[in-house]
Each structure stands twice: as structure tokens, then as C-alpha cells.
Chain A
Amino acid sequence: MAAAESYPDDLRYHREHDWARLEGDEAVFGITWFAQDALGELVHFEAPEEGATVAKDRSYAEVESVKAVSDVIAPLSGEVLEVNNAVIEAPETVNDDPYGAGWLVRVRLSDPGEVDSLLDLEAYKQHLADA
């Protein structure tokens, strides 16, 4: 079942409805509850290759529902260390648990200073309210 609306306060957010969980010089990326709700049940995750370079504010993957396809925007720059195969196998995992089992990639950050440009929880909630 789809998760209830939530936005954890330990994440940093990108305006394109992506999140990053910082873990030292690495980060885990995913899409927010708002993004998965707008798309509907996901049926395909077009993942990047492990080792691929991702650039902040640029698309690094695609997620698709029955009706729509959406680019996934990298909140930060770096190198893909790991792709969540559970989401490739069962894309609806993102709907069920967008901040936990539905994470998309783990990235080694190339410019940790970029973090300062991301939104904190309050700023992201304001962004949602303004949309």
C-alpha cells in the first residue's frame, strides 16, 4: 500500500522533489512522497550504471508509472556507488516506502559543499505550499 504523506527532518531536499540522506562523503538519493504521489504506482525504474557520474540538477535516472515518465534529478554531484536493485525488481517499493526501502542510488559526493544549496525540511515544505 502507498505510504502516508511524510517528509523526514533528517534529509535535505531538492526543488524537483528529490531527497538526499548525507552519510559522510556519501549520500543516498530518492524521490519524495510528493513525487511518487504525483506519478502514481511506479512500474519501471531506469537506473544509472554503477560507476556513472551524476551532476547536481541534472537527470540521472527515470521513473515511470502507467501513465507517465519522469526524469529523476540529482540533488548533488558524484559517482554512483550502488543502485537499489530492489526498486528495479519491484518499482512500487518507492510508493510503499519512499525514504526507506525505496531509495534509488548511493553516491560518493564529488563536491560536498553543494549541500548548502539544498533545502531543509522547513524550506521544502514551504516550497510544496507555494507550488
Chain B
Amino acid sequence: MQTLLRTPLYERHVALGARLVPFAGWEMPVQYEGVIPEHRAVRADAGVFDVSHMGEIEVEGPRARELLQAALSNDLDRIGPGQAQYTLLTNEQGGIVDDLIVYELDPERFLLIVNAANREPDFGWLLERELPGAEVRDVSDDYALLAVQGPHALERLGLPAAPAFTFADGEIDGVRCVVNRTGYTGEEGVELLVPADEAGELWDRVMGRGVTPCGLGARDTLRLEVCYPLHGNDIGPDTDAISAGLGWVCALEKEFTGAGELRRIKAAGPEQKLVAFVMDDPGIPRQGMAITEGGEVTSGSHSPMLERGIGLGYVPAATAQPGTELTIDVRGRPRRGHVVKKPIYSREER
């Protein structure tokens, strides 16, 4: 039996009455008051998530950029110091080892914030490609990460507006942290990177500003409504970036692992596409359910904003057009839905 890891905020979650569950080897809060009120707090005001289980990998040295340009799908030359970029770690088949955000700390030093479950695979993958002049370090244990998300997140924290995918040193009521303008909810907000031993202080300051604590349950429904893929569900080493709709983060004009295969898939057109759908019949789609027209559901849940079932799934390219009817096999019951343009929910539609 494996012991579950705990973030520096574990005791605070317990004190708040969180329901804790195993997730990617960690004991994490899935909810405090409830998934739906937490989801709504983030859509209407501001919520804070402990995402300290995520991994941090640093790549440093005169050849750090060269190593990362060869391993990551997006073009690092499009960003500079103080900027961040969503990108993929790809394998030779164009499959997705992980999706992550890379932060350019300075031209010879980069920080990768990676999925918790992929911390070790990613680190191993990069270590194998380590060059003289590009050192790869797993610094996950040094940091905690708090995501503060929602239309009033900046106002609650007293932070100025800043462009998405930038970062800078900052502080919340005297606790210093790196303020990343990133997130996984489709709302405005920040992700605060803080030394692990100061995480409790930072959490208390954020809570003191009236931000609602939110668990991984709401994090999942929030990201699903805005169609952000979840690695391990919607994307993985056996799904390629083009079929997953992530061609926009693949700089196919540069060379990186799997680029040739991705160019071939793009030219030929993918056989299957990852689409978003909304249910018209009652019932909630769930991961692994068959889609009668072909393919299967990779993520499914109840949308608190639409108040109906929603999901993501791979379908044959011919049935990927918005408006196309789909039939989901909900435990033996055929239930109808239809393909929609991503995202399923957007702020502008309020």
C-alpha cells in the first residue's frame, strides 16, 4: 500500500471540513461545501484551489532553450523572460506525454509546471535528453501552488490587471510569491507559486480576503465547461495533438519530437477528433461510455452552468461538426446529445 502525499495545506483542508480523496498519489480536497456552490463561486466571484500536487521542473543552462525547443511542441522563441506558454511534451508518434506551462525565468532558465501524475515521467523524459549545458532538476518539493480564479479574483487579492500568460514577483498582504497569470477554469485569475514553507501563510491571506476554498471536483467541472483537456482522460501518450485539437500549440515549422508524424496527420486529416458535446436527453455522460456513432467519452459530467450533461470525446472526423447528433450509451440506455463548438461555456454568453 502506497502512502499518500500531503501538501503543506493538508491540515487547513481538514480544519475546513474538506472531503479528502486520493488523486495522482496525493490526498487532496475534492470539495469543501460542495462541488456546485464552489463551481458557482468561481464563475461569479473568486475561488482558491490548492494545486500544490502539481510538479515543477527547472531546466537551466546555456543550452536549456535548445533542449526544450527539441522536446516541446510550441515555439519558445515566441516568448521572452516574464512570459509563459501552454505547450506539449510529445513522443515520437506525436502522442502527448504531458501538457504543461513553461515559464521563461530568464533566457537560460525555464520552469515547467506539469501535471501531478506526470511529474516523474516528465522528469525522466527530460533527463534522458539532458545535454551538457542544460541541467534538469525536479524542484516540485520546493514549491506550493495556489490557483485563485474568478471574475473578482484580482480585486479580492488587490492585484493589478496584467496580460494572460505573463508572470512577475508579487505579494499578498506581505507574503511574497510569483504571480502567474494562468489558470484552468476559463475565468480571470492567477496561480501563485510560493515556497512550500510559506504556503500556509499565503493560503491564510487569500482566505482572509474572502475567497471561497474550492476542491478538485469544481476544478474538473470548471475546466470541462471551457473544454480544457485533462491529461490521462482526454489526451495521453496514445492520442496525438492534432486529433486532440491542440494543433495550435504545435509549431510544425520547427523540429521537435514527433513533429514529422504530426505534420503527416495534419496533412492527411485526423481520423478522429476530440469534440465537445451537450446532452439533449436527461442523463450524465461519464468517461469510458461508448458513443454509438463511433468513439467514446473521455470526460463527462454535469455542467453546473448549463444544468445538463456535458462531455468531451473522440468521434470519427465525419461526425465532428457542431450540431451533429450523438448518442451516448449511458449504462445501456441510449441518450441523445449534440456536438457543440468549443468552449461549451464562455463568459461572454452570460
Contacts and interface: CB of A to CB of B under 8 A. Distances in A.
A64 B302 contact: yes
B283 interface: yes
A70 to B, nearest CB: 12
Contacts of B221: 66
A40 B221 CA distance: 14
B129 to A, nearest CB: 38
A67 B34 contact: no
A40 B35 contact: yes
A66 B331 contact: no
A62 interface: yes
Contacts, number: 40
B207 interface: no
Contacts of B309: 44
A18 interface: no
B16 to A, nearest CB: 16
A44 B284 contact: yes
Contacts of A46: 282-283, 333
B301 interface: yes
A67 B36 contact: no
Contact of A43 (B217, B284, B286, B333): B284
B88 interface: no
A26 B333 CA distance: 29
A41 interface: yes
B283 A66 contact: no
B91 to A, nearest CB: 31
B286 A66 contact: no
Nearest to A67: B217
A123 interface: no
Contact of B36 (A41, A44, A69): A41
B35 A44 contact: no
B35 A41 contact: yes
Contact of A41 (B30, B34, B284, B331): B34
B232 to A, nearest CB: 16
Contact of A66 (B282, B304, B333): B304
A67 B36 CA distance: 11
Interface in B273-317: 282-284, 286, 301-302, 304, 307, 309
B74 interface: no
B286 A69 contact: yes
B31 interface: yes
Interface string B85-109: 0000000000000000000000000
B280 to A, nearest CB: 14
Nearest to A2: B34
Contacts of A65: 35, 302
A87 B265 CA distance: 48
B28 to A, nearest CB: 13
Interface in A54-103: 62, 64-67, 69, 88
Contacts of A43: 36, 284, 302, 307
Given A64-B284, A66-B36, A69-B284, A44 B31 contact: no
A66 to B, nearest CB: 4
Nearest to B301: A66
A40 B18 CA distance: 12
A67 B299 CA distance: 11
Interface of A: 2, 40-41, 43-44, 46, 62, 64-67, 69, 88
14 contacts: A2-B34, A40-B31, A40-B217, A43-B36, A43-B307, A64-B284, A64-B302, A65-B302, A66-B302, A66-B304, A67-B30, A67-B35, A69-B284, A69-B286
Given A2-B34, A44-B309, 4 more contacts: A40-B34, A41-B35, A43-B284, A65-B35
Interface of B: 30-31, 34-36, 217, 221, 282-284, 286, 301-302, 304, 307, 309, 331, 333
Which A-B residue pairs are the 6 nearest by beta carbons? Answer: A43-B302, A66-B35, A66-B302, A41-B36, A41-B34, A64-B284
